[in-house]
């Protein structure tokens, strides 16, 4: 499965996959056309596609601590019918490679305790949910401000 950096023309497909992602997890979701427009507007954001079945959304920010960038992996999704074939792994590996090639020295993401398959994938590529090896767990805290 080829992984490629999405061009503007690919963002309709990326938006459809993100819409599928939200729908699968019962999250509210804008319509794909609205999402595609949003993906064209938001700055400092790259999208990777795995064929027509997987998507990753990378948000970059300047590090406070060095002249590097940092990358926040906002979304990673493979359609259910295409799971178990290593596509998520290839997409995450391509994400790490792409972030590094853009000058990011660090990548983070948030995930759910019960998303065991994703957590196994992250750990298999060297990601940690602890501060240092064997340190305390790191939690995401969030709040809606609406």
**Could you write out the DSSP letters of every residue in 57-97?**
EEEEEE-SSSSSEEEEEEEEEE-GGGTTSSHHHHHHHHHHH
Among 16, 30, 82, 93, binds a second copy (CB under 8 A): 30
Which of 13, 107 has the CB closer to a second copy? 107
* Residue that has been written with the tokens 């340190």 in this structure: 135
Query: Binding of a second copy at residue 8 (CB under 8 A)?
Result: no
Among 2, 133, 134, 139, binds a second copy (CB under 8 A): 139
Q: How far apart are CA 59 and CA 99, in angstroms?
A: 9
Question: In whole angstroms, how close is the CB of 96 to a second copy at the nearest point?
Answer: 6
Q: How far apart are CA 39 and CA 86, in angstroms?
A: 26
Among 41, 81, 133, 134, binds a second copy (CB under 8 A): 41
The binding site for a second copy (CB under 8 A) comprises 18, 28-30, 35, 38-39, 41-45, 57, 59, 61-66, 71-72, 74-75, 96, 99-100, 104-115, 119, 122-123, 125-129, 131, 135-146
């Amino acid at each position: 499965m080829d992984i490629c950096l999405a061009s503007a023309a690919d963002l309709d497909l990326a938006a459809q996959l993100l819409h599928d992602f939200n729908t699968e997890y019962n999250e509210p979701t804008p319509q794909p056309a609205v999402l595609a427009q949003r993906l064209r507007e938001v700055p400092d954001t790259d999208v990777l596609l795995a064929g027509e079945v997987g998507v990753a959304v990378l948000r970059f920010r300047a590090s406070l601590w060095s002249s590097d960038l940092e990358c926040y992996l906002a979304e990673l999704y493979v359609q259910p019918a295409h799971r178990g074939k290593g596509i998520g792994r290839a997409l995450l590996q391509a994400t790490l490679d792409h972030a590094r090639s853009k000058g990011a020295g660090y990548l983070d993401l948030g995930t759910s305790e019960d998303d065991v398959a994703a957590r196994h994938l992250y750990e298999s590529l060297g990601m940690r949910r602890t501060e240092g090896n064997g340190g305390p767990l790191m939690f995401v805290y969030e709040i809606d401000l609406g």
